[in-house]
């Protein structure tokens, strides 16, 4: 009996012993906290990078809203996310790509950094000031991206309180207020940012970047979409907050162009002071890629590809390109499961390029415009031979160097390296190798030919391929697409010149406009504006507006601009028009191939889509928030 009692007492003791009150205290104190995110200089630098990390990737082959979605390109990959933008199928319920959340997230990171920077130990004052300036720049830049996407934005001026009552949630500010807010920060921050970043810091914001973004901001703000364009008077006339504030001013204001012109001028000065200049290839210079051999073509093709030598790029996005579905592998001629050869310029873009005389194809008297779809031949032993060989469509002859630098066409060349251990129909086969060291390929675009459309539904849908952005030094082999990586230009000097030219022309300063247009044209190997149009047209403001728009669509083709430019000019309805190309189903007859046909893709554009839809949930969450016009009617 005693023994039992003992057992029981022992058990009871054990039970009590294990009941110690800290049985449930198991979370160690050494957990990561917000303080750790700012504990030293290295942590602060990581935080800074996190601030930058919400900048959308501008050359993602699958997820760029504005790269392959303009009226200039069609691809076989419109089932990918970006395709919804080409087709105009994005809606508030299904925005597909929704930068709203990410961009505001970036803004919050910037404010967090600003708030906590003073607590970081071991960070030099100099660095702290730079970080502070970069955070400010990013706040402005993110707001700029928001207004470019969505128009009038909610301006965020600090860290939000999560307990904000529903009624106190912010309403959208007017477009002009947003512009003023962003412009002020950018102007202020330019002087606080470094003049340049080199080496491993290349790609961070500089003073020039701030000024250049400001120039772009004001250019957009002065453009018809936000400056009383006729197209927009009815669309935005009733675009109001619940309190009645009109969000986009529909009255034209010349002052906006003046501001833009000034900002562009300042940006150019900043850029030139920082040593930026248009890229021109040097004979025998780097990179040691043999093709294209012609210096003009080389200057154009390598404008931003020659990363170590180009001074033209003002701001670059440095994330490495995806080698499976990125832009280069989508551009480069087909090598099964390595490269896809599918970014096909539309006939509209093909015809946009000038003739060799620097004139639109329908204005150049030397250009046989009416026969442009007939079969023609490149003349051997002339300058023609650097552009192509044998029979092609007349449209592909007598064009400006940018056409030949950036476009591959039937019996033209595509500069790229590649092995030849492939089947006969592949562009990389020995029989298609041309040029120095066989470093350019002869491209053929009839059905099932080496770059043509195939039975699989891949290949070029228009009979053309874009070469722009594809590095001629990229080496394709059975082991993979060894693409040469280079930072993608977000801003380059040519854009600043074109921005300035446009603003000057809109302000009536036609001479300066022409001066800056000519800088671009001379580098492109075509005559200046006045020379080209001499005796053909009078260079009125109206004419020059047309010229500067066209120049921009040629020069900045496939650089994330077309999508936005069409909108701000009020010309985005062209995005809803069925694009055309060659008759790519034609197997043998080149003359039949040359007949323009509608490309088998879907296109739609509704006026609401001049602005991106705000995710429907965000409108539902915030009683003070209104949807963009057209999505609710």
Report 312-331 residues binding another protein (CB under 8 A).
318-320
Subset of 66-85 contacting another protein (CB under 8 A):
74, 76, 78-79
Does the protein bind another protein through residue 31 (CB under 8 A)? yes
User: Rule CB under 8 A: is residue 542 a binding residue for another protein?
Assistant: no
- Under the binding rule (CB under 8 A), the answer on residue 600 touching another protein is yes
Selected from 82, 104, 239, 445, the binder of another protein by CB under 8 A is 104
116 binds another protein (CB under 8 A): no
Answer for which of 41, 87, 429, 435 binds another protein (CB under 8 A) is 87
In whole angstroms, what is the distance from residue 408 CA to residue 89 CA?
30
Helix (H, G, I), strand (E, B) or coil at 231: helix
Q: Which residue has tokens 């890629």?
A: 289
* Separation between Cα atoms, residue 313 and residue 488, nearest integer Å: 9
| Contact map string, positions 553 to 592, toward another protein, x by CB under 8 A | ----------------------------------------
Count of positions on this chain that bind another protein (CB under 8 A): 106
- Between 131 and 497, CB nearer to another protein: 131
Shortest distance, CB of residue 573 to another protein, whole angstroms?
16
- Contact between 197 and another protein per CB under 8 A: yes
Cα–Cα distances in Å, from 280 out to 447, 471, 491, 529? 37, 16, 17, 20
The pairing of beta strand 440-443 with beta strand 433-434: antiparallel
Cis-peptide, bond into residue 292, ω within 30° of zero: yes
The reply to whether 8 sits near another protein by the rule CB under 8 A is yes
Q: Are 459 and 76 in contact (CB under 8 A)?
A: yes
Interacting residues of 59 by C-beta distance below 8 A, sequence separation 6+: 67, 317, 321, 326, 327, 469, 488, 560
Separation of alpha carbons 146 and 148, rounded Å: 5
For residue 168, the tally of other CB atoms under 10 A from its CB is 10
Query: Residue 282 gets which letter from DSSP?
Result: P
Under the criterion CB under 8 A, does residue 18 sit at the interface with another protein? yes
Footprint of another protein on 132-191 (CB under 8 A): 154, 156, 160, 162, 166, 169-170
**2 binds another protein per the rule CB under 8 A:** no
* Binding flag, residue 201, another protein (CB under 8 A): yes
**Nearer Cβ to another protein (413/461):** 461
- Contacting residue, 69, 72, 97, 100, with another protein by CB under 8 A: 100
Reported as type and span, the H/E element at residue 567 is: helix 562-568
To another protein, the closest distance from the beta carbon of 38 in angstroms equals: 9
Residue 176 has phi, psi (to 5 degrees) of -65, -35
Query: CB of 110 within 8 A of CB of 132?
Result: no
3-state DSSP assignment of residue 371: helix
Rule CB under 8 A: is residue 632 a binding residue for another protein?
A: yes
Question: To 10 degrees, the CA torsion angle through 261, 536, 370, 404?
Answer: -50
Interface of this chain with another protein, residues 473 to 502, rule: CB under 8 A: 478, 485, 487
What is the nearest approach in angstroms of another protein to the Cβ of residue 425? 8
For every residue of 374-409, DSSP letters joined together read: SEEEPPTTSGGGGTB-SEEEGGGSSB-HHHHHHEE-
Stretch that binds another protein, among 265-273, 334-342, 538-546, 551-559 (CB under 8 A): 334-342
45 binds another protein (CB under 8 A): yes
Contact partners, residue 491, CB within 8 Å, separation at least 6: 209, 212, 213, 216, 313, 314, 315
CB of 50 to another protein, least distance (A): 3
Residue 454 in the binding site for another protein (CB under 8 A):
yes
- Binding-site member from 58, 70, 106, 489 for another protein (CB under 8 A): 106
For residue 139, what are its two tokens?
């706040």
- Residue pair 412/353 in contact (Cβ under 8 Å)? The answer is no
Minimum distance of another protein from residue 88's CB (angstroms): 8
- Give yes or no for residue 512 binding another protein (CB under 8 A): no
CA distance 478 to 489: 30
Cα–Cα dist 552/279, whole Å: 17
Asked if 275 touches another protein (CB under 8 A), the answer is: no
Q: 496 or 599, CB closer to another protein?
A: 599
Beta-bridge partner residues of 392: 376
Q: Which one of 143, 148, 204, 568 is in contact with another protein (CB under 8 A)? A: 204
Binding mask 225-244 for another protein (x = CB under 8 A): --------------------
Min dist. Cβ of residue 632 to another protein (A): 5
Q: Answer yes or no whether residue 107 interacts with another protein by CB under 8 A.
A: yes
Smallest separation, CB 1 to another protein (Å)? 6
Where does this chain touch another protein (CB under 8 A) — which range of 17-25, 64-72, 206-214, 373-381?
A: 17-25
Residue with tokens 């849908």, as numbered in its chain: 461
């Amino acid at each position: 009996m005693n023994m039992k009692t003992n057992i029981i007492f022992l058990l009871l003791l054990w039970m009590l012993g294990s009941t110690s009150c800290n049985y449930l205290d198991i979370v160690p104190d050494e957990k990561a906290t917000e303080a750790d995110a700012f504990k030293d200089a290295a942590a602060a630098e990581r935080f800074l990078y996190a601030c930058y990390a919400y900048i959308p990737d501008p050359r993602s082959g699958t997820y760029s809203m504005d790269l392959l979605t303009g009226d200039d390109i069609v691809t076989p990959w419109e089932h990918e996310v970006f395709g919804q933008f080409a087709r105009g199928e994005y809606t508030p319920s299904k925005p597909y790509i929704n930068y709203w959340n990410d961009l505001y997230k970036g803004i919050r990171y910037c404010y967090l950094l600003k708030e906590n920077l003073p607590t970081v130990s071991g960070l030099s004052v100099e660095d702290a000031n730079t970080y502070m300036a970069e955070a400010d720049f990013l706040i402005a830049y993110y707001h700029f991206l928001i207004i470019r996407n969505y128009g009038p934005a909610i301006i965020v001026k600090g860290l939000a309180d999560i307990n904000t009552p529903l009624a106190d949630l912010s309403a959208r500010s007017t477009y002009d207020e947003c512009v003023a807010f962003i412009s002020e920060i950018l102007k202020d921050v330019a002087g606080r940012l470094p003049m340049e970043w080199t080496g491993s810091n290349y790609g961070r914001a500089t003073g020039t970047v701030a000024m250049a973004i400001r120039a772009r901001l004001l250019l957009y703000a002065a453009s018809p979409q936000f400056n009383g364009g006729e197209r927009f008077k009815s669309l935005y006339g009733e675009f109001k907050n619940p309190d009645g504030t009109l969000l986009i001013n529909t009255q034209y204001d010349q002052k906006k162009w003046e501001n833009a012109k000034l900002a562009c001028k300042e940006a150019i000065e900043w850029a030139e002071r920082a040593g930026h200049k248009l890229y021109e290839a040097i004979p025998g210079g780097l990179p040691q890629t043999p093709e294209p051999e012609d210096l003009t073509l080389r200057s154009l093709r390598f404008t931003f590809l020659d990363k170590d030598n180009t001074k033209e790029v003002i701001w670059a996005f440095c994330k490495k390109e995806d080698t499976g579905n990125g832009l280069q592998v989508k551009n480069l001629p087909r090598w099964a499961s390595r490269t896809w050869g599918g970014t096909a310029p539309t006939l509209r873009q093909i015809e946009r390029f000038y003739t060799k005389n620097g004139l639109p194809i329908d204005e150049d008297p030397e250009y046989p415009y009416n026969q442009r779809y007939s079969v023609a031949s490149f003349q051997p032993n002339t300058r023609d031979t650097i552009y192509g060989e044998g029979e092609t469509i007349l449209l592909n002859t007598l064009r400006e160097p940018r056409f030949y630098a950036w476009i591959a066409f039937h019996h033209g060349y595509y500069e790229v390296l590649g092995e030849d251990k492939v089947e006969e129909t592949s562009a990389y086969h020995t029989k298609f190798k041309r040029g120095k060291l066989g470093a350019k390929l002869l491209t053929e675009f009839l059905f099932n030919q080496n770059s043509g459309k195939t039975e699989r539904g891949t290949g070029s849908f228009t009979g053309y391929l874009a070469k722009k952005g594809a590095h001629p030094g990229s080496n394709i082999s059975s082991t993979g697409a060894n693409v040469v990586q280079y930072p993608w230009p977000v801003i380059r000097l040519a854009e600043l010149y074109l921005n300035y030219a446009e603003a000057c022309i809109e302000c009536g300063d036609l001479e300066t406009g022409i001066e800056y247009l000519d800088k671009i044209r001379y580098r492109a190997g075509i005559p200046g504006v006045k020379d080209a149009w001499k005796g053909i047209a009078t260079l009125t403001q109206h004419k020059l507006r047309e010229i500067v728009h066209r120049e921009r669509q040629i020069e900045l083709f496939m650089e994330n601009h077309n999508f936005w430019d069409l909108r701000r000019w009020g010309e985005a309805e062209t995005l809803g028009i069925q694009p055309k190309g060659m008759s790519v189903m034609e197997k043998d007859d080149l003359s039949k191939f040359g007949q323009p046909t509608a490309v088998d893709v879907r296109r739609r554009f509704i006026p609401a889509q001049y602005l991106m839809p705000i995710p429907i949930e965000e409108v539902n969450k915030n009683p003070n928030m209104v949807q963009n016009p057209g999505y609710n009617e």
